Structure 1
Amino acid sequence: MKALRRFTVRAHLPERLAALEELSVNLRWSWHKPTQELFAAVDPALWAQVGADPVALLGAVNPRRLDDLAGDEGFLQRVDSLAAELADYLGRPLWYQEQAADGVELPNGIAYFSMEFGVAEVLPNYSGGLGILAGDHLKSASDLGLPLIAVGLYYRSGYFRQSLTADGWQHETYPSLDPQGLPLRLLTDAAGDAVLIELAMPDDAQLFAHVWVAQVGRIPLLLLDSDIGENEHELRGVTDRLYGGDQEHRIKQEILAGIGGIRAIRAYTAVEGLPAPEVFHMNEGHAGFLGVERIRELIDAGLDFDTALTVVRSSTVFTTHTPVPAGIDRFPVEMIRRYFADERPREEHESDERPREEHESDERPREEDGSGRLLLPGVPLDRVIAFGAEDDPSKFNMAHMGLRLAQRANGVSLLHGRVSRQMFQELWPGFDPEEVPIGSITNGVHAPTWAAPQWLDLGRQLLDSEDLTLLREPETWRGLRQVGADQLWRIRCELRALLIEDVRARLRRSCLARGATEAELGWVATAFDPDVLTVGFARRVPTYKRLTLMLRDQDRLQKLLLDADRPVQLIVAGKSHPADDGGKALIQQIVRFADRPEVRHRIAFLPDYDMSMARLLYWGCDVWLNNPLRPLEACGTSGMKSALNGGLNLSIRDGWWDEWYDGENGWEIPTADGLADEGRRDDIEAAALYDLLESSVTTRFYDRDIDGVPSRWVEMVRHTLQALGPKVLASRMVRDYTEQYYAPAARSLRATIEPDNDSTGVPFGAARQLAAYRQRAQQEWPKIQITDVDSYGLPDTPLLGSELTLTASVYLAGLTPDEVVVQAVLGRVDAADVLQDPVKVPMTHTGTAGGNQIFSTTTPLPVAGPVGYTVRVLPHHRLLAGETELALVTLA
Structure 2
Amino acid sequence: MKSIRKFTVRAVVPARLGALEELAANLRWAWHEPTRRLFEQIDPDAWARSERDPVTFLGEIDPSKLEALAGDDEYVARADRERDALRAYLAEPRWYQGIDGETPRLVAYFSPEYGIAAALPQYSGGLGILAGDHLKAASDLGVPIVAVGLFYKAGYFSQSISSDGWQQERYPVQDPDGLPLSVLRRPDGSAVQISIALPGGATLAARVWRAAVGRVTLLLLDTDVPANADDMRGVTDRLYGGGSEHRLLQELLLGIGGVRAIRAWSELTGASAPEVFHMNEGHAGFLGLERISSYIGEGLGFAEALQLVRAGTVFTTHTPVPAGIDRFDRALVERYVTPELLPGVDPADALALGVEPGADPATSAFNMAIMGLRLAGHANGVSELHGRVSRRMFGSLWPGFDPEEVPITSITNGVHAPTWIDPALTALAERTLGTDDSEHADWLSPAVGDAELWAVKRQMRERLVGDARRRLAAAFVEQHPGASAPDWITRALDPDALTVGFARRVPTYKRLTLMLQDPERLTAILTDPERPVQFVIAGKSHPADDEGKRLIQQLVQFAARPELRERIVFLPDYDMAMAETLYPGCDVWLNNPLRPLEACGTSGMKAAMNAALNLSILDGWWAEYAAEDYGWVIPSADSAGDAGERDAREAAALYDLLEHRIVPAFYDRPAVDPVQSGYFERDADRVPAEWVRMLRTTLTRLAPELGADRMVRDYVERLYRPAASRFGAMVADDARAARGFAAWAAKVRAAWPQVAVLHVESGGLDQPAVGDELHVRAEVALGGLDAGDVAVELVSGRSTAADVLTDAERTPLAAVGGGSWEGTVTLDRAGSFGYTVRVVPAHPLLADPAELGLIAVAG
TM-score, normalised via structure 1 length: 0.93
Residue 415 of structure 2 aligns to a residue in which SS?
A: coil
- Select 1:307's aligned residue among 272, 281, 304: 304
- Determine the structure 1 residue equivalent to 2:209: 212
Does structure 1 residue 890 correspond to structure 2 residue 856?
Answer: yes
Extract unaligned runs of 5+ from structure 2: 669-681
Residue 277 of structure 1 aligns to a residue in which SS?
A: coil
Residue 413 of structure 2 aligns to a residue in which SS?
A: coil
Instruction: Work out the CA distance in 1 between the residues paired with 2:615 and 2:32.
Output: 31
- Determine the structure 2 residue equivalent to 1:820: 790
Residue 319 of structure 2 aligns to a residue in which SS?
A: coil
- Determine the structure 2 residue equivalent to 1:405: 375
Write out per-residue CA displacement over residues 508-539 of structure 1, whole angstroms, 9 at most, x where no aligned residue: 11122222875561111111111100000000
Shift of 1:62: 2.2
Write out per-residue CA displacement over residues 655-705 of structure 1, whole angstroms, 9 at most, x where no aligned residue: 000000012210000011253410110000000000000000001001212
Work out whether residues 409 and 439 of structure 1, in 8 Å CA contact, stay in contact via their aligned partners in 2.
yes
TM-score, normalised via structure 2 length: 0.96
- Determine the structure 1 residue equivalent to 2:764: 793
- Determine the structure 2 residue equivalent to 1:875: 841
Shift of 1:63: 2.2
Q: Which amino acid aligns with 2:139?
A: S
- Select 1:274's aligned residue among 243, 257, 271: 271
Residue 199 of structure 2 aligns to a residue in which SS?
A: coil
- Determine the structure 1 residue equivalent to 2:736: 765
Shift of 1:16: 1.3
- Select 2:553's aligned residue among 566, 588, 592: 588
Work out whether residues 473 and 485 of structure 2, in 8 Å CA contact, stay in contact via their aligned partners in 1.
no
- Determine the structure 2 residue equivalent to 1:555: 520
Work out whether residues 433 and 448 of structure 2, in 8 Å CA contact, stay in contact via their aligned partners in 1.
no
Q: Which amino acid aligns with 2:802?
A: A
- Determine the structure 2 residue equivalent to 1:712: 690
Deviates more, 1:639-648 or 1:807-816: 807-816
Does structure 1 residue 49 correspond to structure 2 residue 20?
Answer: no
- Select 1:395's aligned residue among 365, 389, 392: 365
Shift of 1:478: 6.3
Work out whether residues 421 and 434 of structure 1, in 8 Å CA contact, stay in contact via their aligned partners in 2.
yes
Q: Which amino acid aligns with 2:303?
A: D
Extract unaligned runs of 5+ from structure 1: 342-372, 756-762
Q: Which amino acid aligns with 1:707?
A: D
Instruction: Work out the CA distance in 2 between the residues paired with 1:316 and 1:519.
Output: 56
Instruction: Work out the CA distance in 1 between the residues paired with 2:449 and 2:279.
Output: 45
Per the alignment, do residues 517 and 5 of structure 1 end up closer, same or farther by CA in structure 2, a change over 3 Å counting? Answer: closer
Write out per-residue CA displacement over residues 804-841 of structure 1, whole angstroms, 9 at most, x where no aligned residue: 01111111112111111110011111122111221111
Write out per-residue CA displacement over residues 601-635 of structure 1, whole angstroms, 9 at most, x where no aligned residue: 00000000000111211101000000000000000
Q: Which amino acid aligns with 2:717?
A: E
* Superposition pairs of residues 282-681 of structure 1, within 5 angstroms: 282-341=279-338, 373-390=339-356, 391-393=358-360, 394-460=364-430, 464-466=434-436, 468=437, 471=439, 476-477=441-442, 480=445, 482-515=447-480, 521-673=486-638, 675-681=640-646
Does structure 1 residue 23 correspond to structure 2 residue 23?
Answer: yes
- Determine the structure 1 residue equivalent to 2:175: 178
Instruction: Work out the CA distance in 2 between the residues paired with 1:668 and 1:891.
Output: 42
Residue 307 of structure 2 aligns to a residue in which SS?
A: helix
Write out per-residue CA displacement over residues 197-248 of structure 1, whole angstroms, 9 at most, x where no aligned residue: 0100112110000000111001011000001100011110000000000000
Work out whether residues 462 and 479 of structure 1, in 8 Å CA contact, stay in contact via their aligned partners in 2.
no
- Determine the structure 2 residue equivalent to 1:167: 164
Write out per-residue CA displacement over residues 282-308 of structure 1, whole angstroms, 9 at most, x where no aligned residue: 000000000000001111111111111
Query: How many equivalent pairs are there?
Result: 841
Residue 801 of structure 1 aligns to a residue in which SS?
A: coil
Shift of 1:638: 0.2
Q: Which amino acid aligns with 2:251?
A: E
* Superposition pairs of residues 721-740 of structure 1, within 5 angstroms: 721-740=699-718
Work out whether residues 374 and 380 of structure 1, in 8 Å CA contact, stay in contact via their aligned partners in 2.
no
- Alignment identity in percent? 56
Instruction: Work out the CA distance in 2 between the residues paired with 1:672 and 1:423.
Output: 22
Work out whether residues 389 and 396 of structure 1, in 8 Å CA contact, stay in contact via their aligned partners in 2.
yes
Instruction: Work out the CA distance in 2 between the residues paired with 1:225 and 1:387.
Output: 27
Residue 807 of structure 1 aligns to a residue in which SS?
A: strand
Residue 846 of structure 2 aligns to a residue in which SS?
A: coil
- Determine the structure 2 residue equivalent to 1:362: none
Q: Which amino acid aligns with 1:233?
A: D
Work out whether residues 283 and 319 of structure 1, in 8 Å CA contact, stay in contact via their aligned partners in 2.
yes
Instruction: Work out the CA distance in 2 between the residues paired with 1:619 and 1:118.
Output: 19
Shift of 1:71: 1.3
Q: Which amino acid aligns with 1:878?
A: P
Does structure 1 residue 845 correspond to structure 2 residue 815?
Answer: yes
Work out whether residues 20 and 79 of structure 2, in 8 Å CA contact, stay in contact via their aligned partners in 1.
yes
Does structure 1 residue 864 correspond to structure 2 residue 834?
Answer: no
Deviates more, 1:250-259 or 1:706-715: 706-715
Write out per-residue CA displacement over residues 387-407 of structure 1, whole angstroms, 9 at most, x where no aligned residue: 111144321110001100000
Does structure 1 residue 34 correspond to structure 2 residue 31?
Answer: no
Work out whether residues 477 and 484 of structure 2, in 8 Å CA contact, stay in contact via their aligned partners in 1.
no
Work out whether residues 799 and 834 of structure 2, in 8 Å CA contact, stay in contact via their aligned partners in 1.
yes
Deviation beyond 3 Å, 4+ runs, structure 1: 458-466, 476-482, 516-520
Instruction: Work out the CA distance in 2 between the residues paired with 1:676 and 1:383.
Output: 46
Work out whether residues 480 and 718 of structure 1, in 8 Å CA contact, stay in contact via their aligned partners in 2.
no
Residue 871 of structure 1 aligns to a residue in which SS?
A: strand
- Determine the structure 2 residue equivalent to 1:344: none
Shift of 1:463: 6.0
Work out whether residues 320 and 399 of structure 1, in 8 Å CA contact, stay in contact via their aligned partners in 2.
yes
Q: Which amino acid aligns with 2:33?
A: K
Work out whether residues 318 and 403 of structure 1, in 8 Å CA contact, stay in contact via their aligned partners in 2.
yes
- Determine the structure 1 residue equivalent to 2:775: 805
Work out whether residues 433 and 447 of structure 2, in 8 Å CA contact, stay in contact via their aligned partners in 1.
no
- Select 1:855's aligned residue among 821, 833, 846: 821
Instruction: Work out the CA distance in 2 between the residues paired with 1:485 and 1:157.
Output: 46
- Determine the structure 2 residue equivalent to 1:780: 751
